[in-house]
Amino acid sequence: MDIREEIVRLKNKKRAIILAHNYQRDEIQEIADYTGDSLGLSKKAASIQDKELIVFCGVYFMAETAKILSPDKKVIIPDRGAGCPMADMITAQQVREFRNKYPGSVVVCYVNSTAEVKAESDMCCTSANAVQVVLSLPADKTILFVPDRYLGDFVRKKTSRNIVCWKGFCPTHARVTRDMVLAARKKHPNAVVLVHPECTEDVVDAADEAMSTGQMIAYVKKSGRTEFIIGTEKGILYQLKKENPRKDFYLVGKDVICPNMKKIDLQKLLVSLQEEQDEVVVAPAIMERARKAISAMLLL
């Protein structure tokens, strides 16, 4: 039996749902029941009622979020080693120390963080709704934004709020430079430049739009333009090309690849379903507090 057929057979037998981030390998996105960005996957995880097993193809903090929002479901990730360098740039203790330096502040936590960090935060956000989250908070509050300094800077510029950023960042998006954007524009002068807000400020300023992967996919689908320069992880090209076969896409640089997002392949997905491993476990006390921060975001 073909490996894809076996994955589908096991998925149906075990009443499982496969979730995949837009940065996953093409073959993983192809076989997934649902693909999306962090916000879309968070909402999907929260809405799952008729499945017993969630197979999360992404990085570990995303699988943790799915477990937090579906505590009664078994959540597995095909490769426990698929981590997020940005999420590892801050600890729960560091959040507490950061908050102590700014009494009365509000901690807004980007979902690209561990469950323990979420548990120390007041509210979560994604790259798609970070501006909306910050604008929902009292205007006189100092906002501590963790862990991504570049997304925090982007939100500060959009909202004019008093935001103090942690110094974390995404190594993949930090590799994108303004010179890369300008070179791509010169090569493709008719293309619209779309970048992720995890990119540095000068890259965002050099682009036409900065948005989450889900927003990029929606933007391109609605746009009357036919050429796009994409400034985010190359995995997004699968959905863009699938939904827009008559449009052309150019990655801003060949090295915009997240190695952790590429760790999961069909063989690991099959073994994960066969053995129901690796299971994602979050301590109950952490889970309850983290859920409050995530739920506050989802209520907006």
Secondary structure of 181-245 as H, E, C letters: HHHHHHHCCCCEEEECCCCCHHHHHHCCEECCHHHHHHHHHHCCCCEEEEECCHHHHHHHHHHCC
pLDDT of residue 39: 73
Asked if the structure places residue 107 within a domain, the reply is yes
Q: Could you tell me the sign of the dihedral formed by the alpha carbons of 13, 16, 17, 21, in that order?
A: negative
pLDDT at 233: 98
| Neighbour-count burial of 248, counting CB atoms closer than 10 A to its CB (0-12 exposed, 13-18 middle, 19+ buried) | middle
Identify the domain containing residue 160 by its residue range: 87-171+289-298
Is 148 in the same domain as 206?
Answer: no
The answer to whether residue 278 scores a pLDDT higher than 90 is: yes
Q: Which CATH number do you get for residue 55?
A: 3.40.50.10800
Assess if residue 239 is contained within a domain. Answer: yes
The chain-wide mean pLDDT, for the chain, equals 96
Classify residue 145: in a domain, yes or no. Answer: yes
Check residue 95 and give its pLDDT.
98
183-214 pLDDT per residue, tens = 999 999 999 999 999 999 999 999 999 999 99
**DSSP assignments along 52-116, one per residue:** SEEEEES-HHHHHHHHHH-TTSEEE-S-TT---TTGGG--HHHHHHHHHTSTT-EEEEESSS-HH
In this structure, the answer to whether residues 266 and 139 fall within a common structural domain is no
> What domain count does the chain have?
3
Average pLDDT over residues 151-157: 98
Query: What are the pLDDT digits (tens) for 72-98?
Result: 999 999 999 999 999 999 999 999 999
Whether 63 maps to a domain, the answer reads yes
pLDDT of residue 154: 98
- Note whether 12 and 152 are same-domain residues: no
Tell me whether residue 256 is in a domain: no
